[in-house]
């Protein structure tokens, strides 16, 4: 029996875990064991899925025996299985970190006990979105993860979180309504919501209708992915949430939007009709995002702006619609999920150790906790794209593809990408200089604990605030694990680039996806490109 038939378990297992942890709400130890155990099992399954897809090609699973294009299908191809593996690995690390934080702070009871069920539902929603072969099921996946994220965003119900949560919920609901309107329009135009079926039927529509549907879907996904003119909600809402929640949001939620954009561009609307506007949006996302980051003094807000900015790289790779560009974008997505999440986790540790996440208050952390400095330094350099890290490799891949394309706009984007990378380095270096290198006394509003002399730290009133109690081993361990995963992406960049290039080739070619869903003898229509074709 083919392992790919077990793909729906990637959604079912976390939901089962959510139900179990909800029952075990009074037993935090059992809750932790169940959620970590089931998530590890899911990760194992997804690794097997990736291996099976790598050997056996794209596979489709029909749910409940209703055949496509009527029934719901789940499709595992290289891109979706890669995304599944990376997202589950990251969410497992964040879960371990969050349980470590819960144990360290002693908040064993409500309302944090709803964290586990909600978190597992979020993971189920993300998996469902990655697996779905059906536009409406994609919408349901989005809604599952968004509803869970509303709860996580406002966890504890404090003033700032509620304020940020309102913006987040309203923007997300509006984008979901836009998505639903697009689905209704697509259904009205073609009479199907199955993506493989749509790939054939959308091609038969006239150009005007096609462009309308294309733009509507891209706008809906653009809000979720935080692409420039639609990105202002993100730095406003992410930083107030608890550290592990921000970390998992930053890593996964926008990438689900990017994933949906990739599917729209490659499967539903192939060709290059909207590549120019997408490239302009990518350039503006990169530059405007990073300029916003330079103005911030809070590390979490700064990282939220770099998150927006680096979405631009992925959209750039996508907008080139060449195998090299899309392959680099796939690689960049995998890299960015890991790195951005680990940076947010480290920021959580900085906040615990230094008492604040504002660089105006921090100083001397490198001396206080060299391990923390190392944990920050590696992903920070990785994000800025310093060789030999994976951020550099991904950017080089994008630049190469851009120069291969050779249009003036592509060159502008290559230059914009280099400038953004340097500005990221500047923003990150400012954090490094202020929080880690300068003396605590030089900070604008230093924290008293950072100012204490070594002798006072051992015996003084703040003696309990030392590295051992403030940085529990589980939290540091999970962060370290994620940083090591980020480094592993650098070491194994060669095989990963092979997977991503193959995934990009399959997505642009479309036939393996469509044939896996609709049967081997389906005639896949040729892709018509306006600008001469590739």
Partner 1 sequence: MSVNLTLLIVMGALYACGIYLILERSLTRVLLGLMLLANATNLLILATGGYAGLAPFYSKETAAEDYNDPLPQALILTSIVISFAVTAFMLGIIYRTWVLARRDEIQDDLEDLRVAETPSFDAEDDAEIPAETSEFPVTVPAGGREIPAEDAVQEEKPGSTNVDPRPEGGGK
Exactly one of 9, 57, 211, 236 binds partner 1 (CB under 8 A); that residue is 236
Helix (H/G/I), strand (E/B), else coil: 59: strand
Q: Is 295 exposed, middle or buried (0-12, 13-18, 19+ CB in 10 A)?
A: exposed
Of 133, 134, 41, 131, whose CA–CA distance to 88 is shortest? Answer: 41
Task: Give residues 474-513 in contact with partner 1 (rule: CB under 8 A).
Answer: none
Piece of 199-207, 294-302, 341-349, 490-498 that binds partner 1 (CB under 8 A): 294-302
Helix (H/G/I), strand (E/B), else coil: 163: helix
Q: How many residues bind partner 1 (CB under 8 A)?
A: 42
Exactly one of 51, 67, 181, 419 binds partner 1 (CB under 8 A); that residue is 181
**What is the smallest separation between the CB atom of 169 and partner 1, expressed in angstroms?**
6
**What is the smallest separation between the CB atom of 450 and partner 1, expressed in angstroms?**
13
Does residue number 183 form part of the binding site for partner 1 (CB under 8 A)?
Answer: yes
What are phi and psi for residue 443, nearest 5 degrees?
A: -65, 155
Pick 6 or 187: Cβ nearer partner 1: 187
Which single residue is written with the structure tokens 């996806």? 513
CA dist 223 and 258 (Å) reads 10
Contact characters 252-291, partner 1, x per CB under 8 A = ----------------------------------------
**What is the smallest separation between the CB atom of 327 and partner 1, expressed in angstroms?**
35
Piece of 45-53, 180-188, 207-215, 330-338 that binds partner 1 (CB under 8 A): 180-188
**What is the smallest separation between the CB atom of 528 and partner 1, expressed in angstroms?**
26
Question: Quick check: 250 and 341 in contact, CB under 8 A?
Answer: yes
Exactly one of 67, 374, 441, 523 binds partner 1 (CB under 8 A); that residue is 441
CA dist 175 and 198 (Å) reads 22
Does residue number 422 form part of the binding site for partner 1 (CB under 8 A)?
Answer: no
**What is the smallest separation between the CB atom of 356 and partner 1, expressed in angstroms?**
12
Pick 27 or 163: Cβ nearer partner 1: 163
DSSP class of residue 72 equals -
Pick 443 or 504: Cβ nearer partner 1: 443
CA dist 515 and 503 (Å) reads 16
Task: Give residues 140-179 in contact with partner 1 (rule: CB under 8 A).
Answer: 140, 143, 147, 150-151, 154, 157, 159, 162-167, 169-170, 173-174, 176-177
CA dist 494 and 500 (Å) reads 10
CA dist 384 and 61 (Å) reads 40
CA dist 320 and 532 (Å) reads 14
Contact characters 297-336, partner 1, x per CB under 8 A = xx--x-----------------------------------
Of 240, 246, 239, 307, whose CA–CA distance to 97 is shortest? Answer: 246
Sign of torsion over alpha carbons 229, 235, 236, 237? positive
Which single residue is written with the structure tokens 């999440």? 341
- The two counts, helices (H) then strands (E), for the chain are 24, 2
**What is the smallest separation between the CB atom of 193 and partner 1, expressed in angstroms?**
8
Query: Which positions lie near partner 1, rule CB under 8 A?
Result: 136, 140, 143, 147, 150-151, 154, 157, 159, 162-167, 169-170, 173-174, 176-177, 180-181, 183-185, 187-188, 193, 236, 239, 295-298, 301, 430, 441-444, 446
């Amino acid at each position: 029996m083919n392992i790919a038939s077990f793909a729906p378990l990637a959604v079912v297992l976390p939901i089962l875990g959510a139900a179990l942890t909800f029952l075990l709400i009074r037993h935090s130890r059992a809750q932790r064991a169940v959620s970590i155990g089931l998530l590890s099992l899911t990760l194992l399954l997804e690794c097997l899925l990736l291996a099976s897809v790598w050997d056996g090609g794209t596979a489709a699973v029909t749910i409940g025996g209703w055949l496509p294009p009527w029934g719901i299908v789940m499709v595992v191809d290289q891109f979706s299985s890669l995304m599944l593996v990376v997202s589950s690995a990251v969410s497992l690390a964040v879960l371990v970190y969050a349980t470590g934080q819960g144990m360290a702070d002693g908040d064993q009871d409500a309302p944090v006990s709803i964290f586990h069920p909600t978190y597992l539902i979020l993971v189920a929603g993300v998996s469902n979105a990655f697996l779905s072969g059906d536009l409406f099921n994609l919408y349901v996946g989005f809604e599952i993860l968004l509803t869970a994220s509303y709860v996580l965003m406002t966890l504890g119900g404090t003033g700032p979180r509620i304020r940020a949560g309102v913006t987040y919920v309203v923007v997300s609901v509006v984008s979901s309504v836009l998505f639903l309107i697009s689905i209704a329009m697509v259904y009205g135009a073609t009479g199907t919501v199955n993506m493989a079926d749509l790939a054939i039927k959308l091609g038969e529509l006239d150009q005007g209708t096609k462009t309308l549907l294309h733009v509507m879907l891209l706008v809906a996904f653009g809000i979720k992915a935080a692409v420039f003119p639609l990105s202002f909600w993100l730095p406003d809402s992410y930083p107030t949430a608890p550290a592990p929640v921000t970390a998992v949001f930053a890593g996964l939620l926008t990438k689900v939007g990017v994933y949906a954009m990739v599917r729209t561009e490659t499967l539903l609307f192939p060709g290059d009709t909207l590549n120019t506007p997408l490239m302009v949006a990518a350039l503006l996302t990169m530059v405007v995002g990073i300029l916003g980051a330079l103005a911030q003094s809070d590390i979490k807000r700064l990282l939220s702006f770099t998150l927006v900015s680096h979405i631009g790289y992925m959209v750039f790779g996508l907008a080139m619609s060449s195998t090299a560009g899309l392959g680099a974008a796939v690689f960049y997505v995998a890299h960015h999920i890991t790195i951005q999440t680990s940076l947010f986790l480290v920021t959580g540790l900085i906040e615990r150790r230094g008492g604040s996440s504002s660089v105006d208050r921090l100083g001397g952390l490198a001396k206080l906790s060299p391990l923390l400095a190392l944990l920050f330094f590696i992903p920070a350099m990785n994000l800025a794209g310093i060789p030999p890290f994976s951020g550099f490799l991904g950017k080089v891949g994008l630049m190469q593809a851009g120069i291969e394309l050779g249009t003036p706009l592509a060159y502008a984007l290559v230059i914009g990408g280099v400038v953004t990378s340097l500005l990221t380095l500047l923003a990150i270096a400012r954090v490094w200089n202020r929080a880690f290198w300068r003396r605590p006394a030089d900070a604008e509003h230093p924290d008293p604990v950072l100012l204490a002399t070594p002798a006072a730290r051992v015996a003084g009133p703040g003696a309990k605030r030392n590295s051992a109690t403030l940085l529990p081993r589980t939290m540091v361990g999970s962060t370290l694990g994620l940083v090591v995963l980020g480094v592993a992406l650098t070491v194994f960049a060669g095989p990963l680039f092979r997977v991503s290039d193959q995934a990009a080739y399959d997505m642009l070619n479309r036939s393996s996806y469509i044939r896996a869903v609709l049967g081997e003898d389906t005639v896949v229509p040729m892709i018509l490109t306006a600008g001469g074709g590739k």
